A and B are shown apart, each in its own frame.
Chain A
């Protein structure tokens, strides 16, 4: 399978605070890669580096064969990287429809005329069609998370980054999210999914990467990674008595 994304020895952080240390991994086209790791290990920072909100101080990020390390955030969105945020960040002064339309127009480079049916189609796919005229600030948490995904899809991404979209949801809602991600995978999207819900990682991902201290600790089959001794020690804080 071809790689769509490669992180090569990436260092980065915020100002003088270095979070990512020599982070290297690859993502295969069409797969769902789960990312786990303790709080503060650099998962969201990895996303920020990937979408261009922070610039790595060392290393390279290769997307579809192109070095995008110095490419601006908005250009990366246009190249096909869509992202959701851990804490939903809807444009609260705009309606649900406008939130998705802005992504279609700017991320996917469509005209408003062409973007309208596309936005409506995405709203149907994500279950927000009936709420399209509601101000985004008035949505429930689940709907805000749906909107995050809808907005990311509006950019017409090839690589979709999901940051804890199941966090804070009840079991039934988590099930809905898993189904939605399965539909997206079936539609051909490549997905990197940061999540703390172990069950989600086991059910919905093809591979899992465990991060620790800003670097890749282990990457492989979901069950193999989640049950490995090193991951349980670092991530779950369980030490072997032997």
Chain B
């Protein structure tokens, strides 16, 4: 058992060192101009979509909360960013913090209002809440109603700086989810995912665990949303609160593998690259993405990573508890 412990610790240290080297390398490459602006844009999108997807996966894949309303966090964060930077003249860090906090507060409010519902009722209720927010922002003079707002920051961050933020946000999302699932709460989440009633009857606090996941999801989706709108430069209610965001996120998680650590990341890479290629064939994008989703669901029902893990008996970033450690 002592040998196993030592081997496990060594393996963890090696993994952390390798990941740290890769992260450092990516940052060096980004800031030394090795990445072209087009490549930087693609990587930025991968990081942000992966962040959104990792958070949605935490809710749907572990907490059993299938939300169709995560665009509420993205839109709200975009507006928080525009208001903090343009209206009040604050910098990026304050915008990210406020964007995250506003979304976390929204998550708490929605949790108490909606979490008594289950399954599709919850999903539809979150969608309705997002639509209600969209309507409110379309008619709110302070945020320029339907005309939207531009994000003004002085000096405006370079592409490399925005990418660095997005990459950092993605890493934070991955680490937070990993640590959460490694905790006692995470053990309960995995039980809840399989059978919420049975989990409740052995002491798992379903509401508390779901609330925690929803708030974490709201906060980090909000931070990623702020970075997304810093990169875009402007926000409109129709775009910020569009269901399209959630459709993209669901596509990414489903093809990557719901309830897996690496699925949302692979899904984000596939989605972003497919989108880039299909941009040349305007009008066909959604058709091809739809076909890809159907094929993956039929052939690999647990997503690409989920099916591979099942087939070859491995688990990326495994949170499994061994009996003798």
Task: Kindly identify which residue among A99, A105, A154 contacts B184, using a CB–CB cutoff of 8 Å.
Answer: A105
Smallest Cβ-Cβ distance to B189: which chain A residue? A102
B172-207: CB near A (< 8 Å → 1, else 0) gives 000000000000100110110111011111111110
- Bound-state Cα–Cα, A99 to B268, Å: 32
* Chain A residues in 8 Å Cβ range of B205: 72, 74, 106
Smallest Cβ-Cβ distance to A76: which chain B residue? B201
- Bound-state Cα–Cα, A151 to B202, Å: 7
B190 lies within 8 A of A97 (CB): no
**Considering the complex, which residues of chain A in the window 79-95 have a beta carbon less than 8 Å from any beta carbon of chain B?**
82-83, 85, 89-95
Interface size class of B (residues with CB under 8 A): 20 to 34
Smallest Cβ-Cβ distance to B198: which chain A residue? A89
Query: Does chain B have a CB within 8 A of A112?
Result: yes
- Bound-state Cα–Cα, A103 to B321, Å: 14
Q: Of residues B195, B200, B202, B320, which shows the largest number of chain A Cβ atoms within 10 Å of its Cβ?
A: B202
Q: Given that A95-B320, A120-B323 are known contacts, is A74 also in contact with B200, CB under 8 Å in the complex?
A: yes
A107 lies within 8 A of B203 (CB): yes
* Chain A residues in 8 Å Cβ range of B203: 74, 77-78, 103, 106-109, 155
Q: Of residues B188, B200, B205, which shows the largest number of chain A Cβ atoms within 10 Å of its Cβ?
A: B200
A91 lies within 8 A of B195 (CB): yes
B197 lies within 8 A of A91 (CB): no
* Chain B residues in 8 Å Cβ range of A154: 202
Query: Does chain A have a CB within 8 A of B322?
Result: yes
Smallest Cβ-Cβ distance to B184: which chain A residue? A105
Query: Does chain B have a CB within 8 A of A73?
Result: yes
* Chain A residues in 8 Å Cβ range of B195: 89, 91
Smallest Cβ-Cβ distance to A81: which chain B residue? B201
Query: Does chain B have a CB within 8 A of A36?
Result: no
* Chain B residues in 8 Å Cβ range of A35: none
B198 lies within 8 A of A102 (CB): no
**Considering the complex, which residues of chain A in the window 15-56 have a beta carbon less than 8 Å from any beta carbon of chain B?**
51-53
A105 lies within 8 A of B194 (CB): no
B198-231: CB near A (< 8 Å → 1, else 0) gives 1111111110000000000000000000000000
- Bound-state Cα–Cα, A98 to B325, Å: 13
B256-294: CB near A (< 8 Å → 1, else 0) gives 000100000000000000000000000000000000000
Task: Kindly identify which residue among A74, A89, A94, A95 contacts B206, using a CB–CB cutoff of 8 Å.
Answer: A74
Q: Given that A53-B197, A106-B202 are known contacts, is A94 also in contact with B190, CB under 8 Å in the complex?
A: yes
B198 lies within 8 A of A93 (CB): no
Smallest Cβ-Cβ distance to B188: which chain A residue? A106
- Bound-state Cα–Cα, A132 to B237, Å: 53
B201 lies within 8 A of A77 (CB): yes
Q: Residues on A close to B: CB < 8 A?
A: 51-53, 72-74, 77-78, 82-83, 85, 89-95, 97-99, 101-103, 105-109, 111-112, 116, 119-120, 132-133, 151-152, 154-155
Q: 9 more A-B contacts (CB under 8 A) besides A73-B201, A120-B323?
A: A53-B201, A72-B200, A72-B205, A74-B203, A95-B321, A97-B323, A103-B202, A112-B187, A152-B202
9 sampled A-B residue pairs with Cβ under 8 A: A77-B201, A89-B198, A93-B194, A95-B320, A99-B191, A103-B202, A106-B184, A106-B191, A116-B325
Q: Residues on B close to A: CB < 8 A?
A: 184, 187-188, 190-191, 193-195, 197-206, 259, 320-323, 325
Q: Which 4 A-B pairs have the closest CB atoms?
A: A107-B203, A77-B203, A106-B203, A91-B194
